[in-house]
Chain A
Amino acid sequence: MVVDLDRCTGCEACVVACRAENNVTTAGEKEAANGRAIHWIRVERYWEGDFPETRVKFRPVLCQQCDAAPCEPVCPTYAAYHNDEGLNAQIYNRCIGTRYCANACPYTVRFFNFYNPVWEKPLHLQLNPDVAVREVGVMEKCTFCVQRINAAEVQAAAEKRELKDGEFNTACVQTCPPGALVFGDLNDPASAVSRLSRSNRATKLLGELGTKPKVTYLELASWRDDKAQSG
């Protein structure tokens, strides 16, 4: 996935779309204040500069689907594991809730079910039948909408053809009004996401940690320079 920070307006439509697609539970006002809210994708806001010359920067952060993911080796039950397609998968049924993966994750994009999830009526009617709901004590995180990937693959296989670039998208990408999010196959050098991640605006979030994230952020060098000066 590619996230174009120069396009992001911070509207948080991606957050809402993800919630609807992936049966993410709402923690409620009180529990959210206690740090129990679940957002598989979040939009981080950073203010830069001194008043009155301030700028706000938005950065959507989701699971970076690292190639060298710190969350995977620490899980004692293989709940966090690397699947054949290079996705950083989370198998809810295997998870016993040590929460070690969440501590090891530098991006803090893993979320824990502190209570059993509840959907107040009529919210239960909008649950996505393609996505499992997670019970108490289980870790969850962005899956890159694996249910959509699988559905598209099954469809392509049925039609005896290869998957086409842009044939399907994750919920957040589909929703993003300014088109700041781009999804595709990094193994295909011709795909839009591959071309963009070779852009000279491309950076990795916390790339210095060597986690080899599969999410690329595009940002103008000027912002990075500003950040270096202010930070």
Chain B
Amino acid sequence: MFIQPPGMPVPMRSNSGTTENSPMVTETTNPNDAERMNQDLLRPLLRTSTRFYVAVPVLGAIVLAAVGAFAYQVWNGIGVWGINRPVFWAFDITNFVFWIGISHAGTLITAILRLANATWRRPVTRCAEVITVFALSIGAIFPIIHLGRPWLFFWLIPYPSERLIWPNFRSPLAWDFFAISAYLTGSLIFLLYPIIPDWALVRDKTTGWRHRLYRVLALGWRGTPKQWHRLESAMHIMAVAIIPVAVSVHTIVSWDFSMAPVPMWHSTIFGPYFVCGAIFSGIAGLILAMFFLRKLLHLHDYLLPIHFDNLGKLLLMMSLLWFYFIFAERLTTWYGNETSEMAVFWSTQRGRFAPLFWTMVFCNFLIPFPLLAIKRFRASIIGPVIASSTIVVGMWIERFLIVVPSIANKYLPYTFGSYKPTWVEITLTAGTFAAMGLFYIFFSKLVPIISIWELKVGMHRTLRVPSPSSAIAGQPELTLQTDPRTADH
């Protein structure tokens, strides 16, 4: 059965030439390379190591504990959280913003890399895009479970109900609903479409129940030129469409804060600041995920130092941009010297929240900057990984520092308050991280975590570049000159 991609997806050349070129391309495939690739990348689907049997119960137990904590909260009332008056939002919204931010790891970055034709992206795309889908799902749970009456969450959904009332479309929370559901739908499509050819490959390489499962999942993929053409067109459309959606999602999340007249929330800088922070934490999350995949699934030959190096450069840029934003925000606040804003400002700079603030600056800028700016560290894999770990921590603190100090120091000093989390909130937070790990593990067991067909396309493209000089000299034309995993075509 013909399921190999015919070298190059169809739109790149004239439609009439499709059938002529395909056989040549399939002939040029080095069968050993393709076979090794199949073996390496399908191994996680077919074999399960003991690590899986250790990780899944551990992570599963943490997730179950979080579910239990939520049940406890519903049963007793949300008073089991540490929230109070005036700090009505804390860990819940921090986690919400944090995970929506992490979700900018995948779809946005890979869409940009796809459009920019950065071919080194090929092994990175899928493990990035799946972060988007899972992080978005985890983040989107929080607006529901943080409700005082979570069982009525569907009142946020616009549907013609017997209550004869729509949601309030002026509320940023209603905008959240639309933004997040659009982004989730878009990134699911963006993730699932390119999986279909790989599921077809798994279908053809397996027998028994796996064969039956993947036969259903592959949706009758035959690898005909028409199918490839449609896939490529759909991915082009989605790549263009998903970028404004992704930007709008985190802008709207930022508007949850900046629409309210609360000191240090009510700020025009929040939209771009949040988008920047989201991409920043997203890349950090992606680098960490790639590091674990490389170690645990033995993908050393696919996730190369150059990928960490390139993503490290992106991360460095985002770190600088993030620092620029927070500097601009703090400087204008301090210079403006408005009484209510200064109460919040000083509580973070040298007051109760100062230890967190300066930890954040260390984690997001002072530690990552040298690790990412100096080539020797950046190219070493471990450099970007350490930087990413501190950034993930730093960005979580950043979200917390956006949410809590402002409402804890809001206008009338008589109502100033503070906040301390309870075990329920801490368990829920731990549960989100465990859920992310668990989802990721299950996904990598069901889907080749590196897009096999896209890698092969990269390889074919390299092979198909005709070298006029070598042709004239009569040298063998079709040798593997460049590494397909990083090559430009």
Contacts and interface: CB of A to CB of B under 8 A. Distances in A.
Contacts of B412: 44, 61, 106-108, 206
Interface in A100-114: 100, 102-104, 106-108, 111-114
A197 B87 CA distance: 33
B411 A106 contact: yes
Contacts of B149: 95-97, 135-138
A115 interface: yes
A140 B155 CA distance: 19
A99 B89 contact: yes
Interface residues of B, number: 44
Given A36-B79, A99-B88, A108 B148 contact: no
A104 B170 CA distance: 14
Contact of B171 (A42, A75, A116): A75
A173 interface: no
Contact of B147 (A36, A98, A135): A98
24 contacts: A31-B79, A35-B85, A35-B87, A35-B417, A61-B414, A70-B261, A73-B259, A77-B168, A94-B155, A98-B143, A98-B147, A98-B148, A99-B89, A100-B256, A103-B89, A103-B262, A106-B261, A108-B85, A112-B85, A112-B148, A114-B84, A136-B77, A137-B77, A137-B147
Contacts of B339: 231
Nearest to A27: B79
Contact of B85 (A36, A45, A115, A136): A36
Grouping DSSP codes into helix (H, G, I), strand (E, B) and loop, the B interface class, with mixed when no group exceeds half, is: loop
A1 interface: no
A99 B148 contact: yes
A189 B116 CA distance: 67
A96 B411 contact: no
Given A99-B148, A100-B171, A108 B165 contact: no
A220 B78 CA distance: 43
B414 A113 contact: no
B407 interface: yes
A136 B78 contact: yes
Contacts of B259: 73-74, 104
A76 interface: yes
A76 to B, nearest CB: 4
A187 interface: no
Interface of B: 76-79, 83-89, 143, 146-150, 152-153, 155-156, 165, 167-168, 170-174, 177, 256, 259-262, 339, 407, 410-415, 417
Contact of B414 (A44, A76, A136): A44
A81 B86 CA distance: 21
A74 B173 contact: yes
Contact of A102 (B76, B86, B143, B167): B86
B173 A103 contact: no
A35 to B, nearest CB: 3
A108 B171 contact: no
A78 interface: yes
A45 B172 CA distance: 35
Contacts of B148: 95-99, 112-113, 136-139
A73 B171 contact: yes
B85 A102 contact: yes
Interface in A162-214: 206, 209, 211
B332 to A, nearest CB: 19
Contacts of A37: 85
B262 A104 contact: yes
Contacts of A77: 155-156, 165, 167-168
A51 interface: no
Given A74-B259, A96-B156, A35 B170 contact: no
Contacts of A229: none
B195 to A, nearest CB: 35
A25 to B, nearest CB: 12
A46 B415 CA distance: 12
Contact of A96 (B79, B155, B174, B256): B155
Residue from B85, B172, B174, B413 having most chain A Cβ neighbours under 10 A: B85
Nearest to A93: B163
Given A70-B261, A112-B148, 14 more contacts: A31-B79, A70-B260, A74-B173, A95-B148, A96-B147, A96-B155, A100-B171, A100-B173, A106-B412, A115-B76, A115-B79, A137-B78, A137-B147, A206-B411
A115 B168 CA distance: 26
A68 B19 CA distance: 67
Contacts of B83: 99, 114
A97 B147 contact: yes
Contacts of B168: 73, 75-78
Given A102-B88, A137-B148, A76 B411 contact: no
Contacts of B417: 35
